[in-house]
Structure 1
Amino acid sequence: MKKIIYLLTVFSMYCACAQKNDVKITPTQQQTKNDMDTTKLNETVKKAFDAWQKGDAETFTSFFTADAKLYDDGNPRDFKKFVKDACGHEKFTSIDTIENEGKTIYGRFHTESWGDFRTFFKFNINNDGKFDKLEIG
């Protein structure tokens, strides 16, 4: 009986040592693990999206008109302040759906303030090929 207890003890210790800890992947690590498919994005949206993901606010805003409008869940916000505060600190961690001829992106988003959540960016292109409105939510 002592042999059985000894073997069970050794076996249980071996199993406990072999268990892996539950490792959490940060959104930044997740993004590098899952390359996001941006091939269905409108060409200009893709360039703006890439600039956003890199935290390049200057390039991101270069695709917008000087008086671009921002709507967050339908509520007007200051576009320039949003870009200044968020670009480089917030980014998509996955793309779930692309709609509206490649001008609307739905996916997971990470912010330093609010954590992780699902969101969308909907770009409106004017006749000159610039974005005049960005809807987020």
Structure 2
Amino acid sequence: MRKIPYLLIIFSMCSACAQKNDSKKLTETQQQTKNNMDTTKLNETVKKAFDAWQSGDAETFTSFFTGDAKLYDDGNPRDFKKFIKDACGHEKFTSIDKIENDGKTIYGQFHTESWGDFKTFFKFNINSEGKFDTLEIGQAN
């Protein structure tokens, strides 16, 4: 009977070590992702929208857009509100490779639950009132 408590103690110690190592790996992965996400060159409004997208905050993300915002996916029109509902919180950038167009176009690695990982772009068009009226997305080369 004494063997069981010793085995439990050993098992508990091993479990604690495994948990500690897993949390360290997670921290390293999070740090690596953070290092690949330099947003300092983004337009100020794009950065706020990007941060909302990345955190899955659809309400804040859409607050930067006009009520009749247009969405184009690889040049094809899509329902903007449906896209936000379906994708925000489930899809996000895992790295930023390039920023263009005065900080309004983002190229990078993107992860989706449906399609996996691929290179994509988000191109934000800002109207004269400072709101986005168009979002162009698509696969990047």
Tell me whether the two structures share a fold, i.e. TM-score over 0.5.
yes
d(CA) in 1 for partners of 2:102, 2:58: 24
Query: Does the Cα contact within 8 Å between 1:37 and 1:95 map onto a contact in 2?
Result: yes
Amino acid corresponding to residue 33 of structure 1 in structure 2: Q
CA contact (8 A) 1:121 1:135 kept: yes
Alignment of 1:1-137 (within 5 A): 30=29, 32-35=31-34, 36-137=37-138
Q: Secondary structure at the match of 2:48?
A: helix
Task: Give the TM-score taking structure 2 as reference length.
Answer: 0.75
Larger radius of gyration between Structure 1 and Structure 2? 1
Cα pair 1:31 1:94 within 8 Å, conserved? no
> SS of 1:68's equivalent?
strand
> What displacement does 1:34 show?
2.5
Q: Are the counterparts in 2 of residues 107 and 119 from structure 1 also a CA contact under 8 Å?
A: yes
Shift in alpha-carbon separation, 1:69–1:130, aligned structure 2, 3 A: same
Paired residue secondary structure (1:95): coil
Please give the per-residue CA displacement for 1:60-95, whole angstroms capped at 9, x wherever unaligned.
000000000000000000000000000000000000
Give the TM-score of the pair, scaled to structure 1: 0.77
C-alpha RMSD of the superposition:
1.1
Q: Give how far 1:38 is off.
A: 0.1
Question: Which runs of 5 or more residues in structure 1 are unaligned?
Answer: 1-28
Q: Could you tell me the percent identity over the aligned residues? A: 85
SS of the residue 2:95 aligns to: strand
CA-CA distance at 1:57 after TM superposition: 0.0
Q: Which runs of 5+ in 2 are unaligned?
A: 1-27
How many residues matched?
A: 109
